[in-house]
Chain A
Amino acid sequence: MIYFIADLLALGAINAIMAVGLNLQYGQAGILNFTYYTFVAIGAYVGAVTTMGHPPVPASEETFILQWSLPWPVALVLAGVVAGVLGLFMVLVVIRRLRSDYLAIVTVSLGFIVWDLITNYVPLFNGANGLFNIPYILNGATASETTYTMEVFGVAMVVLAACIWVVRSIFRSPYGRVLRAIREDEVVAASFGKSTTSSRVWAFVLGCVMAGLAGALLVFYVNAWNPQGFLAEESFILMAAIVIGGPGNYWGAVLGTFVFVEVLSEVERYLPNFGNGALVGAGRAVLIGIVLIAVVRFRPDGLIPERWLHWYRSPLRGGPGGEAGSQPQGGRRGRLGMPRLGQRGES
């Protein structure tokens, strides 16, 4: 039971890092990236091949590049850097010419290209068989499963805290405001002299770095990785978690993953299988769809809307930039009682 909870927490923290990164891309910068999990996979592979060393010959027939045995913190950073660089490359190719929905289509196809490349080019990351025996970090080799899980949870929480600190700083800063402005209306942002392209590029790259970090942590935790681990579906689940948690709100992303990804991945074991085990997975997908539709219908801004962050910043709370004592007349009631975005009347 303790292991079960620890496992949930560790995976939850790792997924939350991904969600925070994707939320920076989608929620803040408005870049619809449907292949986010590809960058998680890249981080995972880099984390693996830079710590595994040479495979034990001849017991293993694994073939992969690098075969380094770096200390895990270095591998972790490297995973983030590589994912970030590949993200930069991808975004520079597509972002200048494409706008939201077309960009989304391109991200999907790029994800498939990477998936096919890794699956079919065996010398790179051992193809479809994937990598096994990825070393434990810390004292994982000797500690009990539960202890190791708790340790990974600890490390993941540190990384998560760092990521949240970064996105929180960005959210509150003029840069974050420029990102939101671009998300709302790129023409307006440009008409006020804001660098629309470079702002979005850096938000995208930072999000990919977080994906890489999460991927490396995931692979240190599960000790194996193959192309079945990053099917396109994973990116959609993360996206759904953000939409449910509250796009634009980093706490929403965290809540979305812990509540949604975690609960729904565990709910599988309670779903009826109708005499066919394969239906359980399908049942989960249906459930995700239903929850998503319900949230979009009844709470279009997500469980914790982005505006709650503005509320924390408002002068009422004496947040940064607010002057104490100058209370807005609209006050709290006005903000919470505002019309829902999905239904606001255009006059």
Chain B
Amino acid sequence: MLQINDVEFSYGGSQAVAGCTFDVPDRKVTGLIGPNGAGKSTLMEMIAGGLSPSSGRIVFDGTEIQGLGRIRVARLGIIRTFQTPRELTRLPVMENLVFAAPRQIGEGPLQSVFGRRRWAAQERELRHKAESLLEWVGLTRLREEPAGSLSGGQRRLLEIARAMMAEPKLLLLDEPSAGVFPAVRKLIAQRIREMVDQGITVLVVAHNMAFLSDVADDVVVMAQGKVLRRGSLSEVRADESVVAAYLGGGHVGGTS
């Protein structure tokens, strides 16, 4: 589904990603872990089109996508969530969802004024779909509230629902469980598994091992801009080099 091929990226003098190679198998959840500064977020940003790698290739479904930019990457079906949730704070929760639907009629100025009949029908369908997604993440009650008034956990759930609204093929989740209440974390994990059952491929950055053991089929460990190890979570946790990579070594687990 997604191949990352010897990708490099530097911020000024410091090399954040230094020749990273792995692939994300179809219809699986791949976890991406590693100590702070390992280059995980930079790599995610490059896949999402926000940064262009200085060298290397990123191939999605047979197309090279490095340097395409956010908009075109998103249109190929790669949808992401953000490390700190970024919802459209002053818009109602409902609008936050409906906005995300891809290829809407009436997104151009002329159609919006003169093609009302066409987009009005589509609008009803999208709202219907958004309703069911809100129910799926348990936010139905808040649908007319401005998204900025939601709590941290609710924002995470909204981001997941919004990503689903966009009909992704590949979903990039950047720490979807950070800073949320354990019960909500369980819910998020469960929803991610359900997405995979619907045929979506997921790449997830996470620090919380309990969460990862719930969701990830496979884990890639990054350290200092390179892939250190790949395998199931238990294999990876048993690996000494991985343990050493986390600052001061010691215990890989712990809470986020």
* Chain A contact residues, CB within 8 Å of chain B: 166, 169-170, 173-178, 180-181, 184-185, 187-196, 199, 202-203, 206, 306-307, 310-311, 314, 320-323, 326, 328-330, 334-335, 338-339, 341, 344, 347
Contacts and interface: CB of A to CB of B under 8 A. Distances in A.
Given A174-B104, A180-B91, A347-B151, A191 B80 contact: yes
B49 to A, nearest CB: 8
Given A184-B88, A192-B74, A307-B92, A206 B109 contact: yes
A328 B99 contact: no
A340 to B, nearest CB: 10
Contacts of B251: none
Closest 8 CB pairs of A and B: A173-B112, A193-B74, A175-B112, A184-B88, A190-B70, A321-B123, A193-B75, A174-B106
30 contacts: A169-B113, A174-B105, A174-B106, A174-B122, A175-B107, A176-B112, A177-B99, A181-B99, A188-B87, A190-B69, A190-B70, A191-B48, A191-B70, A192-B102, A192-B162, A193-B74, A193-B102, A206-B109, A310-B91, A310-B95, A321-B127, A322-B127, A323-B124, A328-B144, A330-B141, A330-B144, A330-B145, A335-B144, A338-B145, A344-B89
Given A173-B111, A173-B113, 10 more contacts: A170-B109, A175-B108, A178-B107, A191-B74, A192-B162, A202-B108, A310-B91, A314-B144, A330-B141, A341-B90
Contacts of A166: 113
Chain B CB count within 10 A is highest, among A174, A180, A202, for A174
Contacts of A193: 71-72, 74-75, 102, 166
A326 B124 CA distance: 13
Chain A CB count within 10 A is highest, among B95, B122, B151, for B95
A339 to B, nearest CB: 6
Contacts of B149: 338-339, 344
A306 B88 CA distance: 14
Contacts of B120: 320-321
B143 A178 contact: no
Given A173-B119, A174-B105, A344 B99 contact: no
A344 B144 CA distance: 16
A11 B145 CA distance: 38
Contacts of B151: 347
A176 B71 CA distance: 18
A347 B144 CA distance: 19
A195 B124 contact: no
Contacts of A206: 109
B98 interface: yes
Contacts of B122: 174
Contact of A330 (B142, B152, B162): B142
A132 B195 CA distance: 69
Interface in B70-100: 70-72, 74-75, 79-80, 82, 86-92, 95, 98-100
B140 interface: yes
Contacts of B69: 190
Contacts of A326: 131
Interface in B146-166: 146, 148-149, 151-152, 162, 166
A190 B71 contact: yes
Contacts of B100: 192
Contact of B98 (A170, A177, A307, A335): A177
Interface string B127-143: 11001000000001111
Nearest to A335: B144
B50 interface: yes
A328 B143 contact: yes
A244 B69 CA distance: 38
Interface string B156-193: 00000010001000000000000000000000000000
A222 B46 CA distance: 57
A329 to B, nearest CB: 5
B107 A194 contact: yes
Chain A CB count within 10 A is highest, among B69, B90, B92, B122, for B90
A203 B152 CA distance: 33
A314 B145 CA distance: 11
Contacts of B152: 347
B145 A334 contact: yes
A206 to B, nearest CB: 7
Contact of A191 (B79, B89, B119, B124): B79
Contacts of A347: 151-152
B70 A178 contact: no
Nearest to B124: A321
Nearest to A346: B148
Given A170-B112, A173-B106, A329-B140, A178 B99 contact: yes
Nearest to A186: B70
B78 to A, nearest CB: 9
A328 B100 CA distance: 21
Nearest to B81: A191
A187 B71 contact: no
B148 A192 contact: no
Contacts of A334: 144-145
Nearest to A307: B146
Contacts of B48: 191
Interface in B32-73: 48, 50, 69-72
A311 B95 CA distance: 12
Contacts of A188: 82, 86-88
Contacts of B72: 193
Nearest to A345: B149
